[in-house]
Amino acid sequence: MRAYERFLRYAKISTASEDGTGATPTTARQLDLARLLAEELRALGLADARVDESGYVYAGLPATPGCEGAPALGWIAHLDTSPDFSGECVNPILHSDYDGGDVALPKGGRVLRVSEFPFLRELRGQTLITADGSTLLGADDKAGIAEIVTACERLIQSGAPHGPLKVAFTPDEEVGLGASHFDVKGFGARWAYTMDGGAVGGISYENFNAASAAFDITGVSVHPGSAKGTMVNALKLACELDSLLPAGETPERTEGREGFFHMVGLSGTAAAARLEYIVRDHDRAKFERRKQTLEDARRAVAEKYPAARVELTVRDSYYNMLEQIKPCMHLIDNAKRACEQADVPWQIEITRGGTDGAQLSYQGLPCPNLGTGDYNCHGPYECITAESMDKAVEIILGITALYADGVAENA
């Protein structure tokens, strides 16, 4: 079975995660796909495939004879889709022998336009897969799952030499919790790769340092008819706080390694308000300075309005995996070699976000990310091609073979 055929089946299962539920996984619907995958893996021959109490799928493929001494290598993808756009009742559409032009999606009046998405020209002649315009497609990250499962099937059917392989599918990656309950020790891999979004051939081992921040503001609320000299409007203080942050350092004005402050929530009344941000920077020192900038803004407003109360809460989310990958750059070298063997141009990508791999790298499992072939994730213009998924499978198999052959430095 080709990877895209599996993906079409997985895409129809709703698995959106949801922030703030307090449950693990955050939505019970993720378990529908988790259980299906565990059953499918067992049917393929991964007899230990299971779903744990937190909704993680784990499985292992023993080494072939003669390769037992190879390092255990892990392959990881995530079960959930983004809560940012509907993932209910996904209807994947195949555009065979795609002509490289605009694609009108049947619902919502949406059009995939080459003028907006120039990469479409490069997909000419392939089998393009989209949703119908009313939902996201879910290739982030069900494509990664399909590619890993298909690679396992190919290894079993071919009998190709390989070392011990470990497979895991995680819930809740899209809400930053994918690695929160990951059993690194039980997983048993020495190193791993996540397969999670981006053009096939993409190799990422550098991501943002990330934090969430919230200002809780208590003003002084009195009747507006007698407010002069007394009222302190909490909402206006929130706006003033935001004005103290660098105006050019927002997501829409930055790129590459440039960090930002991103306002994600403003709510409240004149009496009390809450102002929420996510904070990102690739450079750790700059990241720490960004958090200090928030504190400086809080102090300035608190001193200007002593009758108000301004509190700041900052929580680190994850860190740049680069420092954890540096000691084992063979992971990157072998990914490049496998891309070349699959006749896929590789490109090093700087992730302006985070992956499960970033958190896992700091839990002792160095884990760069490889592209699945997915474009425009988290929205109705998401698309992928069947051929790019085939190439992703080849890359997985190529890396697996390299580690079985002992190519990895410092292995």
Q: Is the dihedral of CA 134, 135, 139, 140 positive or negative?
A: positive
Which sequence positions are flagged as catalytic? 80, 173
CA–CA separation, 234 and 76 (whole Å): 45
Which residue carries 């160095």 as its tokens? 366
Q: Retrieve residue 148's tokens.
A: 């890993």
Beta strands per DSSP E along 219-346: 260-268, 272-281, 309-318
Contact 57, 51 (CB under 8 A): yes
User: Which pair of structure tokens corresponds to residue 130?
Assistant: 């989209």
Q: Is the dihedral of CA 395, 397, 403, 406 positive or negative?
A: negative
CA distance 179 to 170: 7
In sequence order, what DSSP letters do the residues of 101-145 get, joined into one string?
S-EE-SSTT-EE-TTT-GGGGGGTTS-EEE--SSS---HHHHHHH
81 close to 201: Cβ distance less than 8 angstroms = no
The radius of gyration computed from the CA coordinates of the chain, to the nearest angstrom, equals 23
Place of tokens 């909402």: 235
Alpha-carbon distance of 164 to 70, in angstroms, equals 7
- What sign results for the dihedral spanned by CA atoms 215, 220, 225, 226? negative
- Rounded-to-integer distance, Cα 162 and Cα 226, Å: 78
Q: What is the DSSP string of 203-248?
A: EEEEE-EEEEEEEEEE-B---GGG-TTT-B-HHHHHHHHHHTS-TT
